[in-house]
Structure 1
Amino acid sequence: MRHSTLFSLMAVAISVAGAASNVDPFEQWHKPEAGHVRGPCPFLNTFANHGFLPRTGKYITKQNLADGLFKSVNFDANISAFLFDFAASTNPEPNSTWFSLDHLTRHNVLEHDASLSRVDAFHGHADLFNEAAFAETLSYYGDTVDVKGGAAAIVARMKSCKATNPTYSLSDLGEAFIIGETAAFISILGDAESITAPKKLVEYLFRNERLPTELGWKRPESAFTTELLLHNLETVEAEYRKQLNATSQARKRSGGFADRLLFARQGLTA
Structure 2
Amino acid sequence: MCFGIQGRLTYTSETARSPCPLLNALANHGYLPHGGRDLDRDTVLGALEDAVNLDRPLSDFFFQAALSTVPLPNATELSLHHLNQHNAIEHDASLSRPDAFFSSHQDVFDPSIFAETRAHWPDPVISVRQAAAARLGRVQTSNRTNPAFELNRAGAPASVAETAVYIVAFGDVEAGTVRREYVEYLFENERLPFDLGWQKSKFVLTQKHLEAMSGRVVAETDSLLNGVGIRDATTDSQSPIAGDEL
State the distance in 1 between where 2:39 and 2:22 align: 15
**Is 1:116–1:134's contact at 8 Å kept on the other side of the alignment?**
yes
Following TM superposition, by how much is the alpha carbon of 1:252 offset from its aligned partner in structure 2, in angstroms?
3.8
User: Greater CA radius of gyration, 1 or 2?
Assistant: 1
**Is 1:201–1:212's contact at 8 Å kept on the other side of the alignment?**
yes
Amino acid at match of 1:106: Q
Q: How does 1:192-211 map to 2 (within 5 A)?
A: 192-211=173-192
State the distance in 1 between where 2:162 and 2:199 align: 20
**Is 2:17–2:80's contact at 8 Å kept on the other side of the alignment?**
yes
Structure 1 residue aligned with 2:120: 140
1:131–1:93 Cα change, 3 Å = same
Structure 2 residue aligned with 1:106: 85
State the distance in 1 between where 2:176 and 2:241 align: 25
Q: How does 1:1-270 map to 2 (within 5 A)?
A: 32-124=11-103, 125-141=105-121, 142-245=123-226, 248-249=229-230, 251-252=239-240, 256=244
Following TM superposition, by how much is the alpha carbon of 1:109 offset from its aligned partner in structure 2, in angstroms?
1.3
TM-score w.r.t. the length of structure 2 is: 0.87
Following TM superposition, by how much is the alpha carbon of 1:117 offset from its aligned partner in structure 2, in angstroms?
0.3
**Is 2:164–2:210's contact at 8 Å kept on the other side of the alignment?**
yes
Following TM superposition, by how much is the alpha carbon of 1:47 offset from its aligned partner in structure 2, in angstroms?
0.3
State the distance in 2 between where 1:161 and 1:254 align: 15
Following TM superposition, by how much is the alpha carbon of 1:151 offset from its aligned partner in structure 2, in angstroms?
0.8
Considering fraction of residues, name the structure with more helix: 1
**Is 1:31–1:49's contact at 8 Å kept on the other side of the alignment?**
no
TM-score w.r.t. the length of structure 1 is: 0.80
Following TM superposition, by how much is the alpha carbon of 1:34 offset from its aligned partner in structure 2, in angstroms?
3.9
State the distance in 1 between where 2:85 and 2:216 align: 28
> Which segment drifts farther, 229-238 or 40-49?
229-238
Pairwise CA RMSD: 2.0
Considering fraction of residues, name the structure with more strand: 2
Structure 1 residue aligned with 2:236: none
State the distance in 2 between where 1:172 and 1:155 align: 17
Amino acid at match of 1:90: T
Describe the superposition over 1:191-243 as per-residue Cα deviations: whole angstroms up to 9, x where unpaired: 11212100011001100001111111011111111111111111111112222
**Is 1:234–1:256's contact at 8 Å kept on the other side of the alignment?**
no
Q: Which stretches in structure 1 are left out of the alignment for 5+ residues?
A: 1-29, 261-270
1:253–1:154 Cα change, 3 Å = closer
Question: Per the alignment, in what secondary structure is the counterpart of residue 219 of structure 2?
Answer: helix
